[in-house]
Copies of this chain bind each other. A is one copy, B any other.
Protein backbone atom coordinates (compact mmCIF):
# COMPACT_ATOMS: atom_id res chain seq x y z
CA UNK A 1 0.00 0.00 0.00
CA UNK A 2 1.56 3.25 -1.15
CA UNK A 3 -0.42 5.66 1.04
CA UNK A 4 0.27 6.23 4.76
CA UNK A 5 -1.47 3.19 6.17
CA UNK A 6 -1.50 4.27 9.80
CA UNK A 7 -3.25 7.53 8.90
CA UNK A 8 -5.97 5.61 7.01
CA UNK A 9 -6.46 3.27 9.96
CA UNK A 10 -6.83 6.29 12.27
CA UNK A 11 -9.50 7.84 10.02
CA UNK A 12 -11.34 4.53 9.72
CA UNK A 13 -11.23 4.02 13.48
CA UNK A 14 -12.71 7.50 13.90
CA UNK A 15 -15.64 6.42 11.65
CA UNK A 16 -14.89 9.16 9.13
CA UNK A 17 -17.20 8.76 6.15
CA UNK A 18 -16.25 9.39 2.53
CA UNK A 19 -18.08 12.76 2.19
CA UNK A 20 -16.37 13.91 5.42
CA UNK A 21 -13.02 12.74 4.10
CA UNK A 22 -13.55 14.73 0.92
CA UNK A 23 -14.21 17.91 2.96
CA UNK A 24 -11.14 17.24 5.15
CA UNK A 25 -8.94 16.65 2.13
CA UNK A 26 -10.12 19.92 0.57
CA UNK A 27 -9.04 21.76 3.72
CA UNK A 28 -5.92 19.92 4.83
CA UNK A 29 -4.53 18.25 1.72
CA UNK A 30 -3.01 14.84 2.37
CA UNK A 31 -4.19 12.10 4.73
CA UNK A 32 -1.07 12.61 6.88
CA UNK A 33 -1.87 16.31 7.21
CA UNK A 34 -5.43 15.48 8.36
CA UNK A 35 -4.21 13.16 11.11
CA UNK A 36 -1.53 15.65 12.14
CA UNK A 37 -4.04 18.47 12.57
CA UNK A 38 -5.16 19.54 16.07
CA UNK A 39 -8.75 18.70 17.10
CA UNK A 40 -9.70 22.38 17.07
CA UNK A 41 -8.71 22.75 13.42
CA UNK A 42 -10.61 19.58 12.53
CA UNK A 43 -13.69 20.98 14.31
CA UNK A 44 -13.64 24.02 12.04
CA UNK A 45 -14.25 21.74 9.07
CA UNK A 46 -17.59 20.75 10.65
CA UNK A 47 -16.54 17.28 11.80
CA UNK A 48 -18.26 15.94 14.97
CA UNK A 49 -16.21 16.51 18.19
CA UNK A 50 -16.02 12.78 18.90
CA UNK A 51 -14.50 12.08 15.51
CA UNK A 52 -12.05 14.99 15.85
CA UNK A 53 -10.88 13.61 19.20
CA UNK A 54 -10.52 10.10 17.76
CA UNK A 55 -8.31 11.50 14.98
CA UNK A 56 -6.09 13.83 17.01
CA UNK A 57 -5.68 11.42 19.93
CA UNK A 58 -6.24 7.95 18.51
CA UNK A 59 -6.41 4.72 20.52
CA UNK A 60 -3.12 3.17 19.38
CA UNK A 61 -3.85 -0.41 20.54
CA UNK A 62 -6.22 -1.47 17.74
CA UNK A 63 -4.17 0.44 15.16
CA UNK A 64 -0.97 -1.33 16.14
CA UNK A 65 -2.87 -4.63 16.02
CA UNK A 66 -4.06 -3.84 12.50
CA UNK A 67 -0.55 -2.90 11.40
CA UNK A 68 0.73 -6.18 12.84
CA UNK A 69 -2.05 -8.05 10.96
CA UNK A 70 -0.97 -6.28 7.77
CA UNK A 71 2.50 -7.79 8.10
CA UNK A 72 1.14 -11.19 7.07
CA UNK A 73 1.13 -12.28 3.44
CA UNK A 74 -2.08 -11.51 1.55
CA UNK A 75 -3.30 -9.01 4.16
CA UNK A 76 -4.14 -5.57 2.78
CA UNK A 77 -6.18 -2.49 3.37
CA UNK A 78 -7.55 -0.60 0.37
CA UNK A 79 -8.69 2.98 0.91
CA UNK A 80 -11.01 5.43 -0.86
CA UNK A 81 -9.36 7.20 -3.75
CA UNK A 82 -6.46 4.75 -4.02
CA UNK A 83 -5.71 2.85 -7.23
CA UNK A 84 -6.53 -0.51 -5.65
CA UNK A 85 -9.90 0.59 -4.26
CA UNK A 86 -12.65 -1.51 -6.00
CA UNK A 87 -13.95 0.69 -8.84
CA UNK A 88 -17.52 -0.63 -8.54
CA UNK A 89 -17.73 0.69 -4.96
CA UNK A 90 -16.94 4.23 -6.08
CA UNK A 91 -20.37 4.31 -7.77
CA UNK A 92 -22.56 3.29 -4.83
CA UNK A 93 -24.12 5.47 -2.14
CA UNK A 94 -22.27 5.08 1.19
CA UNK A 95 -19.00 3.58 -0.06
CA UNK A 96 -16.67 2.27 2.67
CA UNK A 97 -13.69 4.47 3.58
CA UNK A 98 -11.47 1.45 3.99
CA UNK A 99 -11.66 -2.26 3.26
CA UNK A 100 -9.63 -4.95 4.97
CA UNK A 101 -8.70 -7.62 2.46
CA UNK A 102 -7.31 -11.09 2.99
CA UNK A 103 -6.32 -12.55 -0.37
CA UNK A 104 -5.97 -11.21 -3.89
CA UNK A 105 -7.01 -7.58 -4.43
CA UNK A 106 -7.37 -8.28 -8.17
CA UNK A 107 -10.52 -10.30 -7.40
CA UNK A 108 -12.14 -6.98 -6.39
CA UNK A 109 -11.34 -5.47 -9.80
CA UNK A 110 -12.75 -8.23 -11.97
CA UNK A 111 -16.25 -8.12 -13.47
CA UNK A 112 -18.28 -9.71 -10.67
CA UNK A 113 -21.60 -11.39 -10.02
CA UNK A 114 -23.10 -11.70 -6.53
CA UNK A 115 -24.82 -15.02 -5.83
CA UNK A 116 -26.90 -15.08 -2.66
CA UNK A 117 -29.75 -17.04 -1.14
CA UNK A 118 -31.16 -19.02 1.74
CA UNK A 119 -29.03 -20.38 4.60
CA UNK A 120 -31.31 -23.45 4.54
CA UNK A 121 -31.76 -24.20 0.85
CA UNK A 122 -33.05 -27.33 -0.85
CA UNK A 123 -30.57 -29.76 -2.37
CA UNK A 124 -31.64 -28.50 -5.79
CA UNK A 125 -30.92 -24.93 -4.73
CA UNK A 126 -27.42 -25.84 -3.58
CA UNK A 127 -26.79 -27.63 -6.85
CA UNK A 128 -28.03 -24.68 -8.91
CA UNK A 129 -25.94 -22.16 -6.96
CA UNK A 130 -22.83 -24.23 -7.35
CA UNK A 131 -23.38 -24.91 -11.07
CA UNK A 132 -24.12 -21.28 -11.94
CA UNK A 133 -21.12 -20.14 -9.93
CA UNK A 134 -18.78 -22.70 -11.47
CA UNK A 135 -19.92 -21.90 -14.99
CA UNK A 136 -19.65 -18.13 -14.61
CA UNK A 137 -16.39 -18.16 -12.65
CA UNK A 138 -14.90 -20.30 -15.42
CA UNK A 139 -15.95 -17.59 -17.87
CA UNK A 140 -14.04 -14.93 -15.98
CA UNK A 141 -16.54 -13.48 -13.52
CA UNK A 142 -15.56 -13.12 -9.87
CA UNK A 143 -18.32 -14.58 -7.67
CA UNK A 144 -19.22 -12.43 -4.66
CA UNK A 145 -21.18 -13.73 -1.69
CA UNK A 146 -21.44 -13.54 2.11
CA UNK A 147 -19.80 -16.72 3.46
CA UNK A 148 -23.09 -17.84 5.06
CA UNK A 149 -24.16 -21.46 5.09
CA UNK A 150 -26.33 -22.74 2.26
CA UNK A 151 -26.42 -20.82 -1.02
CA UNK A 152 -23.47 -18.52 -0.13
CA UNK A 153 -21.27 -21.52 0.62
CA UNK A 154 -22.31 -23.26 -2.61
CA UNK A 155 -21.57 -20.08 -4.61
CA UNK A 156 -18.06 -19.71 -3.16
CA UNK A 157 -17.34 -23.44 -3.60
CA UNK A 158 -18.52 -23.45 -7.22
CA UNK A 159 -16.14 -20.64 -8.16
CA UNK A 160 -13.24 -22.29 -6.36
CA UNK A 161 -13.94 -25.61 -8.10
CA UNK A 162 -13.79 -23.81 -11.45
CA UNK A 163 -10.39 -22.40 -10.47
CA UNK A 164 -12.02 -18.98 -10.66
CA UNK A 165 -12.09 -16.04 -8.30
CA UNK A 166 -14.52 -15.55 -5.43
CA UNK A 167 -14.98 -12.78 -2.89
CA UNK A 168 -16.59 -13.17 0.54
CA UNK A 169 -17.78 -9.95 2.14
CA UNK A 170 -17.88 -10.40 5.91
CA UNK A 171 -20.18 -8.86 8.50
CA UNK A 172 -17.43 -9.36 11.08
CA UNK A 173 -13.84 -8.18 11.37
CA UNK A 174 -11.58 -9.67 8.69
CA UNK A 175 -9.81 -11.74 11.36
CA UNK A 176 -12.97 -13.56 12.41
CA UNK A 177 -14.98 -16.19 10.56
CA UNK A 178 -18.72 -16.52 10.95
CA UNK A 179 -20.14 -19.11 10.91
CA UNK A 180 -17.19 -21.04 12.30
CA UNK A 181 -18.27 -24.07 10.27
CA UNK A 182 -16.96 -22.14 7.25
CA UNK A 183 -13.40 -21.77 8.58
CA UNK A 184 -11.95 -24.11 5.96
CA UNK A 185 -13.94 -22.41 3.22
CA UNK A 186 -12.70 -18.98 4.35
CA UNK A 187 -9.15 -20.27 4.10
CA UNK A 188 -9.79 -21.53 0.56
CA UNK A 189 -11.34 -18.19 -0.42
CA UNK A 190 -8.32 -16.24 0.86
CA UNK A 191 -6.18 -18.50 -1.33
CA UNK A 192 -8.45 -18.38 -4.44
CA UNK A 193 -9.91 -14.88 -4.17
CA UNK A 194 -10.44 -12.54 -1.26
CA UNK A 195 -12.13 -12.11 2.10
CA UNK A 196 -13.25 -8.51 2.56
CA UNK A 197 -14.59 -6.49 5.49
CA UNK A 198 -15.12 -2.85 6.29
CA UNK A 199 -15.27 -3.56 10.03
CA UNK A 200 -12.31 -3.14 12.37
CA UNK A 201 -10.35 -6.23 13.37
CA UNK A 202 -12.10 -8.28 16.03
CA UNK A 203 -15.61 -7.02 15.24
CA UNK A 204 -18.18 -9.64 16.36
CA UNK A 205 -20.98 -10.88 14.06
CA UNK A 206 -23.67 -8.40 15.11
CA UNK A 207 -27.03 -8.92 13.39
CA UNK A 208 -27.26 -5.32 12.19
CA UNK A 209 -23.99 -5.60 10.31
CA UNK A 210 -25.42 -8.01 7.78
CA UNK A 211 -27.88 -5.76 5.92
CA UNK A 212 -25.16 -3.02 5.89
CA UNK A 213 -22.64 -5.57 4.66
CA UNK A 214 -25.08 -6.62 1.91
CA UNK A 215 -24.65 -3.26 0.14
CA UNK A 216 -21.03 -4.24 -0.50
CA UNK A 217 -21.99 -7.67 -1.88
CA UNK A 218 -24.29 -6.03 -4.42
CA UNK A 219 -22.05 -2.98 -4.75
CA UNK A 220 -18.97 -4.94 -5.80
CA UNK A 221 -21.01 -6.70 -8.50
CA UNK A 222 -22.47 -5.91 -11.91
CA UNK A 223 -25.51 -7.93 -10.86
CA UNK A 224 -26.95 -10.06 -8.07
CA UNK A 225 -28.43 -13.52 -8.58
CA UNK A 226 -30.86 -14.81 -5.94
CA UNK A 227 -31.02 -18.61 -6.08
CA UNK A 228 -33.50 -19.54 -3.34
CA UNK A 229 -34.99 -17.23 -0.74
CA UNK A 230 -37.99 -17.14 1.54
CA UNK A 231 -40.40 -14.23 1.21
CA UNK A 232 -38.65 -12.27 3.97
CA UNK A 233 -34.94 -12.78 3.88
CA UNK A 234 -31.61 -11.03 3.79
CA UNK A 235 -31.15 -12.06 0.18
CA UNK A 236 -34.06 -9.85 -0.83
CA UNK A 237 -32.34 -6.93 0.93
CA UNK A 238 -29.25 -7.55 -1.18
CA UNK A 239 -31.42 -7.69 -4.31
CA UNK A 240 -33.15 -4.44 -3.37
CA UNK A 241 -29.79 -2.75 -2.75
CA UNK A 242 -28.54 -3.99 -6.11
CA UNK A 243 -31.56 -2.42 -7.82
CA UNK A 244 -31.03 0.84 -5.92
CA UNK A 245 -27.40 0.85 -6.97
CA UNK A 246 -28.52 0.52 -10.58
CA UNK A 247 -27.18 -3.02 -10.87
CA UNK A 248 -28.86 -6.02 -12.46
CA UNK A 249 -31.05 -8.34 -10.39
CA UNK A 250 -31.47 -11.97 -11.46
CA UNK A 251 -33.66 -14.62 -9.88
CA UNK A 252 -34.10 -18.35 -10.45
CA UNK A 253 -37.73 -19.46 -10.67
CA UNK A 254 -38.87 -22.66 -9.02
CA UNK A 255 -41.86 -24.83 -8.32
CA UNK A 256 -44.87 -23.03 -6.83
CA UNK A 257 -44.74 -25.68 -4.09
CA UNK A 258 -41.18 -24.71 -3.06
CA UNK A 259 -41.43 -22.10 -0.27
CA UNK A 260 -37.87 -21.00 -1.08
CA UNK A 261 -38.90 -20.03 -4.62
CA UNK A 262 -41.32 -17.42 -3.19
CA UNK A 263 -38.66 -14.77 -2.63
CA UNK A 264 -37.36 -15.26 -6.16
CA UNK A 265 -40.85 -15.07 -7.62
CA UNK A 266 -41.52 -11.87 -5.67
CA UNK A 267 -38.36 -10.38 -7.19
CA UNK A 268 -39.37 -11.44 -10.71
CA UNK A 269 -42.75 -9.76 -10.23
CA UNK A 270 -40.88 -6.61 -9.20
CA UNK A 271 -38.84 -6.69 -12.37
CA UNK A 272 -35.88 -8.97 -11.65
CA UNK A 273 -34.71 -10.91 -14.70
CA UNK A 274 -35.88 -14.52 -14.69
CA UNK A 275 -32.91 -16.73 -15.56
CA UNK A 276 -32.83 -20.38 -16.52
CA UNK A 277 -29.18 -20.82 -17.45
CA UNK A 278 -25.81 -19.31 -16.57
CA UNK A 279 -25.65 -18.09 -20.16
CA UNK A 280 -28.75 -15.94 -19.55
CA UNK A 281 -26.68 -14.06 -16.97
CA UNK A 282 -23.49 -14.01 -19.00
CA UNK A 283 -25.27 -12.46 -21.97
CA UNK A 284 -26.65 -9.66 -19.78
CA UNK A 285 -23.38 -8.95 -17.99
CA UNK A 286 -20.98 -9.20 -20.92
CA UNK A 287 -21.70 -5.69 -22.29
CA UNK A 288 -21.72 -4.25 -18.76
CA UNK A 289 -18.40 -5.91 -18.01
CA UNK A 290 -16.95 -4.24 -21.09
CA UNK A 291 -18.41 -0.92 -20.00
CA UNK A 292 -17.12 -1.31 -16.43
CA UNK A 293 -13.67 -2.13 -17.76
CA UNK A 294 -13.71 1.12 -19.75
CA UNK A 295 -14.90 3.15 -16.77
CA UNK A 296 -11.89 2.08 -14.71
CA UNK A 297 -9.52 3.09 -17.51
CA UNK A 298 -10.48 6.68 -18.29
CA UNK A 299 -7.57 7.08 -20.73
CA UNK A 300 -9.08 4.42 -22.99
CA UNK A 301 -11.17 5.58 -25.96
CA UNK A 302 -14.95 5.30 -25.56
CA UNK A 303 -15.34 2.71 -28.31
CA UNK A 304 -13.25 -0.37 -27.75
CA UNK A 305 -10.56 -0.60 -30.41
CA UNK A 306 -9.26 -4.12 -30.45
CA UNK A 307 -8.05 -4.53 -34.02
CA UNK A 308 -4.84 -2.48 -34.07
CA UNK A 309 -4.50 -1.95 -30.35
CA UNK A 310 -1.00 -2.50 -28.99
CA UNK A 311 -2.12 -4.21 -25.76
CA UNK A 312 -4.57 -6.48 -27.57
CA UNK A 313 -1.87 -7.43 -30.04
CA UNK A 314 0.52 -8.16 -27.15
CA UNK A 315 -2.16 -10.37 -25.58
CA UNK A 316 -2.84 -12.11 -28.90
CA UNK A 317 0.83 -12.98 -29.26
CA UNK A 318 0.71 -14.70 -25.85
CA UNK A 319 -2.39 -16.75 -26.69
CA UNK A 320 -2.39 -19.98 -28.68
CA UNK A 321 -4.63 -22.89 -29.47
CA UNK A 322 -3.37 -24.64 -26.34
CA UNK A 323 -5.02 -23.30 -23.18
CA UNK A 324 -2.94 -20.72 -21.26
CA UNK A 325 -3.50 -19.66 -17.63
CA UNK A 326 -4.01 -16.01 -16.78
CA UNK A 327 -0.79 -15.95 -14.69
CA UNK A 328 1.23 -16.92 -17.73
CA UNK A 329 -0.58 -14.30 -19.79
CA UNK A 330 0.35 -11.72 -17.15
CA UNK A 331 4.03 -12.63 -17.37
CA UNK A 332 4.02 -12.90 -21.15
CA UNK A 333 2.12 -9.66 -21.89
CA UNK A 334 3.28 -7.45 -19.03
CA UNK A 335 -0.36 -6.38 -18.51
CA UNK A 336 -2.11 -6.47 -15.13
CA UNK A 337 -4.51 -9.33 -14.31
CA UNK A 338 -7.28 -6.74 -13.95
CA UNK A 339 -6.73 -5.41 -17.44
CA UNK A 340 -6.22 -8.89 -18.88
CA UNK A 341 -9.55 -10.10 -17.42
CA UNK A 342 -11.58 -7.43 -19.14
CA UNK A 343 -9.62 -7.72 -22.39
CA UNK A 344 -10.15 -11.48 -22.44
CA UNK A 345 -13.87 -10.94 -21.86
CA UNK A 346 -14.02 -8.53 -24.79
CA UNK A 347 -12.11 -10.97 -27.04
CA UNK A 348 -14.50 -13.72 -25.96
CA UNK A 349 -17.40 -11.45 -26.93
CA UNK A 350 -15.81 -11.00 -30.35
CA UNK A 351 -15.46 -14.74 -30.75
CA UNK A 352 -11.66 -14.61 -30.88
CA UNK A 353 -11.01 -16.33 -27.57
CA UNK A 354 -12.48 -19.29 -25.73
CA UNK A 355 -12.64 -19.35 -21.95
CA UNK A 356 -11.87 -22.73 -20.40
CA UNK A 357 -12.00 -24.24 -16.91
CA UNK A 358 -9.34 -23.21 -14.43
CA UNK A 359 -9.12 -19.66 -15.74
CA UNK A 360 -7.41 -20.77 -18.94
CA UNK A 361 -7.89 -19.26 -22.38
CA UNK A 362 -7.30 -20.37 -25.95
CA UNK A 363 -7.55 -18.76 -29.37
CA UNK A 364 -10.54 -19.86 -31.41
CA UNK A 365 -10.32 -19.70 -35.27
Contact = CB atoms under 8 A, between A and B. Distances in A.
Interface string A327-350: 000000000000000000000000
A273 B275 CA distance: 16
Interface in A262-318: 262, 265, 268-269, 273-277
A261 interface: yes
Interface string A246-265: 00000011111100011001
Interface residues of A, number: 18
A166 interface: no
A323 B286 CA distance: 60
A124 interface: yes
A255 B255 contact: yes
In the complex, which of the residues A255, A257, A262, A277 has the most CB atoms of chain B within 10 Å of its own CB atom?
A: A255
B276 A262 contact: yes
B256 A276 contact: yes
A256 B128 CA distance: 9
Nearest to A264: B253
In the complex, which of the residues A269, A276, A277 has the most CB atoms of chain B within 10 Å of its own CB atom?
A: A276
A269 B265 contact: no
Interface in A106-130: 124, 128
A169 to B, nearest CB: 26
Interface in A214-267: 252-257, 261-262, 265
A257 B124 CA distance: 10
Contact of A261 (B253, B268, B269, B273): B253
A346 to B, nearest CB: 27
Contacts of A254: 253-256
Given A124-B255, A253-B256, 13 more contacts: A252-B256, A253-B261, A253-B265, A254-B254, A254-B256, A256-B275, A256-B277, A262-B276, A265-B274, A265-B276, A268-B268, A268-B274, A269-B273
